[in-house]
Structure 1
Amino acid sequence: MSEKFSSLTVLMVSDLARSQSFYRDVMGFQVTDWWAERGGLQGVALKLFQAAESADVRPNARPAGGGYAVDVQVYTETWAQLDALYVEFRSKGAVISVEPVVYAEGGPWKEFVVEDPDGYHLAFGGTDGVPGGA
């Protein structure tokens, strides 16, 4: 028996309308009352919930040893796709909290990170191994 499963990430947000606008207008997601999805990104889907109190909004903390926090990891199939997303997001005013970087280990792996209005960090990355970048 072959079963298919899917998942999504739930984000508690301080201002639902602001978050819906950000994910629609800056990140290019299709946003409804229930979901925020972007096709072509290996099934990326978010559920945005209005937090009752600001303390309910809890992005992951930065690791004690340094580096940066990630709340949602998005995989791209090619570095060309990754670079195009970077240009698109930057042109729409996204806060890029980590500029594109290539890590030799793991592929090599290339990644950048966007910060949403509540401080959640979405990392976009992939391993097609083509040198270069944005």
Structure 2
Amino acid sequence: MKQIHSSLKVLLVSDLKSSKKFYEEQLGCEVTDWWVIRDGFSGLALKLLQAVSSDDVRPNKPSKGASTSFDLYCYVENWNALDELYQEFTEKDVSVVVEPWVDEANGPWKEFVIEDPDGYHLAFGGTDGH
């Protein structure tokens, strides 16, 4: 029996209004007072909370040996979906911190990473679905 239906990543943000605007207008999310979602609660799902101070906003640091951090990882169905997301985001001037690349040794796996206004890194990736 499935007990957990979905989960939300909680992010403290420095400016709740501008963060909601970014996720709605640039990432195409449904934004309410309670959540930020795209493709349902099993897709990209966040809860944004206003931080008391901008010092409280703390994106993850890169892991050992990595040059880029991840705060949220979104898996995609295939590379066509990944390429469409990348095109959509770049057309809306979303900051890309890692351009799409293919890791031949793992999958092969393709991914890219974007950055939100508070410096949180959202990665999108997956196999080609074949």
Q: TM-score if structure 1 supplies the norm length? A: 0.90
**SS of the residue aligned with 1:123?**
strand
**SS of the residue aligned with 1:87?**
helix
What's the offset of the Cα at 1:41? 8.6
Letter in 1 for 2:46: L
Q: Is there any run of 5+ residues in structure 1 with no aligned partner, and where?
A: none
**SS of the residue aligned with 1:83?**
helix
- What's the Cα RMSD here? 1.7
**SS of the residue aligned with 2:5?**
coil
User: C-alpha distance in 2, partners of 1:120/1:107?
Assistant: 26
Contact 1:108–1:127 (Cα < 8 Å) also in 2: yes
User: C-alpha distance in 2, partners of 1:49/1:3?
Assistant: 26
Aligned to 1:32: 32
Contact 1:41–1:76 (Cα < 8 Å) also in 2: no
User: C-alpha distance in 2, partners of 1:2/1:115?
Assistant: 33
What's the offset of the Cα at 1:3? 3.0
User: C-alpha distance in 2, partners of 1:84/1:119?
Assistant: 23
Q: How does 1:35-114 map to 2 (within 5 A)?
A: 35-39=35-39, 42-114=42-114
Which aligned runs of 4 or more in structure 1 are off by greater than 4 angstroms? none
Q: Percent identity?
A: 55
Cα distance, 1:19–1:117 mapped onto 2, change above 3 Å? same
**SS of the residue aligned with 1:22?**
helix
User: C-alpha distance in 2, partners of 1:46/1:10?
Assistant: 6
Aligned to 1:17: 17
Letter in 1 for 2:44: V
Cα distance, 1:11–1:104 mapped onto 2, change above 3 Å? same
Contact 2:6–2:41 (Cα < 8 Å) also in 1: no
Q: Is there any run of 5+ residues in structure 2 with no aligned partner, and where?
A: none
**SS of the residue aligned with 1:34?**
coil
User: C-alpha distance in 2, partners of 1:67/1:93?
Assistant: 23
What's the offset of the Cα at 1:17? 0.4
Letter in 1 for 2:35: W
User: C-alpha distance in 2, partners of 1:40/1:101?
Assistant: 27
User: C-alpha distance in 2, partners of 1:110/1:41?
Assistant: 23
User: C-alpha distance in 1, partners of 2:40/2:19?
Assistant: 21
Aligned to 1:8: 8
Contact 1:10–1:48 (Cα < 8 Å) also in 2: yes
